[in-house]
Amino acid sequence: MGDKIESKKLAMSAGVSTVPGYMGEVDDMSEVFRISNEIGYPVMIKASAGGGGKGMRIAHNDAEAEEGFKLSKEEAINSFGDGRIFIEKYIVAPRHIEFQLLGDKYGNYVWLPERECSVQRRNQKVIEEAPSPAMDPITRKKMGDQAVALARSCNYHTTGTVEFLMDHNKDFYFLEMNTRLQVEHPITEEITGIDLVE
């Protein structure tokens, strides 16, 4: 799940909503232009091994895509030692929603109510709010169930977090899975009364 390209392919096969895009490695500029125009601008150019906002660039046209590809690849190599790049549709003004989940080695899974971390600076979370003020019970259940479906599809166990982007229509898309207990886990503990470490 640490590889963004492979995790998105796995999410698609598990029936999890994913951002429209090209789920393969992009190698040269002609591919960048072709894929970006097929998806339709704006697009997000991203490092497969990326994280913490590194190796990401938004492009609104071919010129920005060319520059974004070069910068993303260079930053990915310098930060992660892995220059693989992929391209997906840029979701305008999304909400960043994450679901805490728990799974054991016997196939039992549960999701816990979401944290919203849309307030960010340079793609780094600044404020976590739980539960999300934009969430409704139907969307919450759909998102939580998809988080569990993803974990189940790769036999993941222990604590983890599945992150989604949600647009203004409450359509949501898988972003990534953090296969660890995140530093923000106490926020979920505060609203659920569950000691996640225990």
- Looking at residue 134, its pLDDT comes to 95
HSE value, Cβ hemisphere, 13 Å, CA-based, for 37: 9
The CATH architecture assigned to 20-89 reads: 2-Layer Sandwich (3.30)
User: What percent of the chain has pLDDT above 90?
Assistant: 74
Residue bearing tokens 């789920």: 23
Give the tens place of pLDDT for each residue, 1-41: 888 778 888 999 999 999 888 777 888 899 999 999 999 99
The CATH architecture assigned to 95-192 reads: 2-Layer Sandwich (3.30)
Terminal alpha carbon distance of the chain:
24
**How far is the CA of 183 from the CAs of 31, 131, 160, 186, in angstroms?**
38, 17, 11, 8
| CA–CA distance, 176 with 194 (Å, rounded to integer) | 24
Question: Catalytic residues, which ones?
Answer: 176
- Residue-by-residue DSSP string for 67-95: HHHHHHHHHHHHHHS---EEEEEPPSS-E
Give the tens place of pLDDT for each residue, 59-69: 999 999 999 99
Q: Residues of CATH 3.30.470.20 domain(s) within the chain? A: 95-192
Give the tens place of pLDDT for each residue, 174-184: 999 999 999 99
Q: Model pTM?
A: 0.80
Give the mean model confidence (pLDDT) for residues 45-68.
Answer: 89
